């Protein structure tokens, strides 16, 4: 077993007995180099450091001016350990590691050199900390994206039982299309960097390239947990409690994440699907869509096998004119900063296609929907439209599918057979 991932021994002293710390150095060499880095080269007379390090001086420099032990030790010509000893003597509390790191990030002090000689400066991620405090259309949309393509990690400080190298909580979102992530970051006023992972093959399975970003922040993590975004949420996700006026924005974010929209190759009919690993979540979403005028669809279950055992996913699907109604519900009056352009264009194409159909059918079925007519009278209105389409040499199957997609309540069974007989008779007359 090698001494470290890249080195067989310490590059400074050549030992393998002392464990590796960083940059090819053992613990002793690393600490020695660190102390030399922070110690002043200017010679200070003996006893002058002790005289300078009074309680008032340390209170002013360390507590009020927020200077580090390294900065004070360099100015006074002594070691950091000596500064710490004087602070303990005066009863001055020392900052914990988390507070010290946050302060160093704010001041741009965290720098390190890569092996290629590139100097990297770490900085604190800035974002709108009140973004998830109040419900807005932007907040609901981003929450929907996080619910599908995001993940949260508590870090060992929030959950000591989890194996994690991070102390604080983290939000991460990964997507194949960078447009969605850029829009999420803009809505959150966040300056974190967008990364891209290369294509890779693991155990014969090819994983495509994805874009991702991380935000490390305890406050953000706790707020997302309150909103229902929990670690390892794929199978346990629940539909959050959202004010009615913002639910459609949340669903649009979900659809941009795990939803899809396309046109069938043969029929050209639009199809919109949403896939989820949580049955409770997709049932709640379906209930919301039903209450807003979309038809109730059967939730399809797809079973599969994984290394951890058997699993299943749940899908709801809308086709034909339902896609146009879904577009109207999700995108009406929405800014371009709150949707993925590719899916918007596909939805809009479906909407335009069925908008003309809707107007055509409303012309002949308005009385049936707006006034109480007898059953036969209602069927006469539908048959008139069917005949008009039949004169255009469309098949019965195409006509029936056309009407169902447009939301017209068509005759069925024996009544449909009678309607076809009447059609054959009327089709030879100048009825329309």
Sign of the torsion angle spanned by Cα atoms 10, 12, 14, 15: negative
Mean pLDDT within 328-345: 93
* Residue 304 and residue 293 share a domain: yes
pLDDT at residue 206 in the model: 65
The residues with which 318 forms a beta bridge, in sequence order, are 272
- Domain membership of residue 432 (yes or no) is no
Report the candidate in 221, 113, 119, 209 with the shortest Cα–Cα distance to residue 166: 221
Per-residue model confidence as pLDDT tens digits over 212-253: 999 988 899 999 999 999 998 888 899 999 999 999 999 999
> ∠47-48-53 over CA atoms, to 5°?
105
Tell me, what CATH number does 172's domain have? 3.10.28.10
pTM: 0.68
* Residue 225 and residue 145 share a domain: yes
Per-residue model confidence as pLDDT tens digits over 59-106: 998 888 888 888 888 888 887 888 888 889 999 998 887 778 778 777
281 burial (CB, 10 Å; 0-12 / 13-18 / 19+) is buried
- Domain membership of residue 360 (yes or no) is no
Q: Which of 215, 233, 251 is the last residue of a domain?
A: 233
Sequence-separated (6 or more) residues with CB below 8 Å from residue 286: 296, 297, 299, 316
Q: Which of 233, 265, 283 is the last residue of a domain?
A: 233
Distance CA 415, CA 147 (A): 47
* Residue 216 and residue 239 share a domain: no
* Residue 87 and residue 151 share a domain: no
Tell me the C-alpha to C-alpha distance, in Å, between residue 399 and each of 143, 263, 386. Answer: 41, 19, 7
From the CB of residue 429, how many other CB atoms can be counted at a distance below 10 Å?
Answer: 8
Take residue 294 and report the two structure tokens written for it.
């979309």
- Domain membership of residue 265 (yes or no) is yes
Please spell the DSSP secondary structure of 294-361, one letter per residue: PPP-PPEEEEEEETTEEEEEEEEEEETHHHHHHHHHHHTT--GGGS-HHHHHHHHHHHHHHHHHHHHH
Distance CA 241, CA 227 (A): 8
Q: What is the number of domains present in the chain?
A: 4
Half-sphere exposure of 365 (CA within 13 A, CB side): 19
Rg (CA), the chain: 33
Half-sphere exposure of 430 (CA within 13 A, CB side): 0
Sheet holding 150-153, edge to edge: 150-153, 170-175, 210-216, 195-197
Per-residue model confidence as pLDDT tens digits over 371-418: 333 444 445 555 556 655 655 566 666 766 766 666 666 656 655 565
């Amino acid at each position: 077993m090698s001494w470290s991932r890249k080195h067989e021994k310490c590059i400074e002293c050549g030992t393998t007995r002392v464990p590796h710390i960083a940059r090819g150095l053992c613990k002793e060499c690393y600490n020695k180099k660190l102390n030399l880095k922070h110690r002043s080269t200017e010679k200070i007379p003996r006893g002058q450091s002790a005289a300078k390090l009074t309680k008032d001086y340390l209170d002013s420099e360390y507590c009020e001016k927020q200077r580090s032990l390294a900065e004070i030790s360099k100015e006074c010509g002594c070691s950091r350990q000596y500064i710490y000893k004087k602070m303990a003597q005066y009863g001055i509390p020392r900052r914990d590691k988390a507070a010290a790191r946050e302060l160093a990030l704010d001041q741009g002090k965290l720098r390190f050199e890569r092996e290629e000689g590139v100097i990297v400066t770490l900085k604190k991620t800035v974002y709108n900390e009140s973004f998830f405090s109040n419900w807005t259309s932007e907040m609901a949309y981003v929450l929907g994206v996080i619910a599908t393509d995001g993940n949260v990690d508590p870090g060992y400080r929030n959950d000591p039982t989890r194996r994690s190298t991070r102390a604080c909580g983290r939000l991460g979102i990964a997507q194949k299309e960078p447009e969605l992530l850029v829009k999420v970051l803009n809505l959150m006023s966040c300056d974190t960097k967008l990364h891209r992972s290369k294509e890779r093959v693991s155990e014969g399975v090819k994983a495509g390239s994805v874009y991702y970003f991380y935000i490390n922040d305890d406050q953000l993590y706790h707020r997302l947990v309150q909103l229902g975004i929990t670690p390892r949420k794929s199978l346990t996700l629940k539909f959050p409690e959202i004010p009615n006026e913002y639910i459609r924005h949340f669903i649009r974010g979900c659809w941009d994440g795990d939803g899809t929209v396309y046109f069938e190759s043969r029929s050209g009919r639009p199809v919109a699907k949403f896939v989820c690993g949580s049955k409770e979540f997709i049932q709640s979403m379906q209930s919301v869509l039903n209450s807003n005028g979309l038809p109730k669809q059967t939730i399809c279950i797809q079973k599969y096998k994984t290394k951890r055992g058997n699993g299943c996913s749940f899908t709801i699907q809308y086709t034909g004119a339902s896609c146009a109604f879904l577009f109207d519900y999700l995108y009406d009056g929405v800014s371009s900063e709150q949707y993925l352009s590719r899916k918007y264009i596909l939805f809009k194409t479906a909407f335009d296609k069925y908008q003309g159909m809707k107007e055509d059918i409303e012309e002949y079925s308005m009385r049936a929907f707006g006034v109480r007519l007898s059953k036969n009278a209602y069927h006469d209105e539908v048959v008139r439209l069917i005949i008009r389409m039949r004169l255009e040499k469309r098949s019965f199957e195409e006509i029936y599918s056309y009407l169902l997609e447009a939301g017209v309540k068509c005759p069925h069974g024996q009544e449909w057979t009678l309607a076809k007989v009447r059609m054959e008779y009327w089709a030879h007359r100048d009825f329309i």
